[in-house]
Structure 1
Amino acid sequence: MTGRLASATTATAYQREWFARMREEVAGGVPLALVNADAPQEIFRAMGIPYVVNQWWASIVAAKRQTQRYLGLLRERGYPDDIEQYSATSLASAFETDLEQAPWGGLPTPSIVLGETTGDASRKIFDVWDAQPGVTYYPLESAAENAVPERWWELMPHRWEEAIGSDRLDLMTGELTGLIRFLEQTTGRVFSETRFREVLALVNEQQEWNRRTRDLIAAARPCPIAVTDGIPSVMVPQWHRGTEWARDAARAFHDEVRERVEAGVAVCEDERLRLMWIGRGLWFDLEFYRRFQESHGAVFVWSMYLAIAADGYLRYGDDPLRALAARFAAFSDQLYTPPWSAEWYVKEARHHGVDGVVHLVSDDARGGYFTTRALRAAGIPVLELHADNVDARTGGDLTTQMTAWLDELGSN
């Protein structure tokens, strides 16, 4: 029971098998979508259109130590290799010529890319995609609201209209209606509201299991799982949400965590420091998360992936398309925009009883200063690491910084 989570290895194997089947389908003429992580993937699920998540693919490339080769493909064509690498890595796949080197046989060329127009660089990345033969970019607006809800995580499941604002929901609901029409016209697939409701119901079931799992880990002393197991256990099913497999995978993850908690399993027998990792996964160095267990008894008990699944996705309501709009209209706010994000991180830090926070701040981060300030104001020590999460060129001294900080934290 002390080895890797079965749910993690099962999810990873499922994703690899799914990717191979998807490549065969696309080679046979099935349309493929490339979508951002914070895009409404449930529409594609309901219409039976396969999709690959932009940032997931970048994480695979980084884990296979191929990010520098992919960034080189951009550089050769005159595009910058040091701006929003997490989103730009997949674009480099459009210029891949050596599929034998490419992870998992390479990313097929999509027929549609979907993402918000967040930031100048992000929009330009998608514009380059749009310029590729046979690829169409469908943009979604990134809207804001002056009124900011308090304790949004309590409002979102049922009172999302109040939390997000009607104007933002009107805008995104209209855009999603247009997306459905576009997909029907270009793919020949038919949108079924009955099927769509089934997808949304399965997503809510899945996130309810994730919420229970998050709360189990928050209360457990010592921490029963490694964060490097928790991430695939929650995120691979997230990329398949709206399916029975994903719902059942989330339940299996919960049951496995519960068994470990009841058995008193510890990922680190000498747990002395409980840590929270704020930011994207450090895909080029996943060993970082366990590197300090033996030397400092330091265990990462939190990452945003399970926590946002628990608090950010649940949406109940009678209007399915508007409920889906509510899932994504403020998604970036929840993670990156203060005070939405800052208050949530403080809440999660207290919920998990952490001794300190490691905050990965990338060049394109939004609101990072306010997150750190809010945590420190709450009396929680914070180490800021400035690096890009997929570009190893930016992470040369992270271990040195972390060691010095843990030495100080452990002595207090």
Structure 2
Amino acid sequence: MVTGASLRDLDFTVEGNPSKIAHELEKGGARIISEDEKLRHVEVLFAGDCEGSISAARDDHYVRPGTRPEIRWSTIMEDLRRRDFSLNAIAISLNPASRGLLLDPTNGLSDIERAEVRALTIHSFTNQPVRLLRVLRFAARMGFKIEQRTQEWFDLAIERNLQHTIAPEDAGGELRAVAREERPSVVLKAWEERDLLEAINPVLAKKHPAYDAIGRLMRVREDLFTAGFRPRLAAPMLLAILGRLKEREQANILQKAGFRSAEVESALGFEEESLEAQRELTGRKMDAPIDAFRFLEKLPLDQIAYLMAESNKSAALSKIRAFLNKWRPVRIALPAVATELEALGMPRGAKFDQIVDQVFAMQLTGRGKTPEEREKILRKLSGIKEPPKKKEKEKKAAAPASHSRRAAPGKKSHGRK
């Protein structure tokens, strides 16, 4: 919000337990993705497919640098001060008494104006070595440079080989994060330049990410944005990143990175699920545009994106493009058809909705493009006849033509001779 960049997610911090709030949000359409009771952290997918989280304000107390911290529940200001980098230590108060107040105890706004990523303490990388990956990810994402002292601390941590002490589950968290980035290739290449990709997994570092597959998926993301979608492409992007590895190697990386068994199965089965959807889409049951539309409308967007990036089936791709660029705009304009039907005198109800759906199916085949054509279709389906034409009024008797009367011929005067 501060930088003017597109909104990526919504992260909330509360002084207390966020679980109750998260479950209340579920009633309004949000979905809880995961919940960490120990850290009091809840990952949420808000209505409208906006990712976010709700966390309890806390302070991490280190007995000495590099040890596991003791978690202490705290105030929002203490929570901001214990963050990794100053640009992550900014918040906006939602408290009724101070709503809209900018909370910036570490002067992160100034660092954003200077386009710098600044660590908050000399022990930042010692306490959490995974920040070596994270600082490069933030710098690559935002096009920022690393602040001078932070760069010195970073270089010192590399000299001490702290990158080799990154916990596998922490590295897995960064793998998840890079799969959600808008420009993952930039982040991955920044890691490779610093020989930090090995911290994710040595096999991935040796075989390298599948940058071609990542690029194709990024172009598809732009197409989906243009079509009015907000795609969440973590699953296909994860497969693209690991695309040069064998399935067994992919499974090994995900398991070591702390992915749950169900997550590993879901990730590795994603490609087959997408291909099965493609087979169904190109089958005879999907010959009618309305059937293909209904199928694609329910198909997860990440599977659509995967097929757009990887499929070589022209029949499937043509239907997907028609769905995005032709059929959906017609569907969005369908309320206008309902208004036209209502104007003809058709009361709303089950039959009303059925007729609107029938017209929509016809529109997908190219019929009913003009209001006049739609009116004819609507009248035929609804049984509403055109009003009788007004009878022509009898022609008024034509007024007698005005003839200029000639003066009566006068008698000839006979002159005397």
TM range (shorter): under 0.3
Q: Which has the higher contact order (CA 8 A, sep 6+)?
A: 1
* TM-score (norm: length of structure 2): 0.25
Q: TM-score, normalised by structure 1?
A: 0.26
Q: Which has the larger radius of gyration?
A: 2
Structure (1/2) with the larger helix percentage: 1
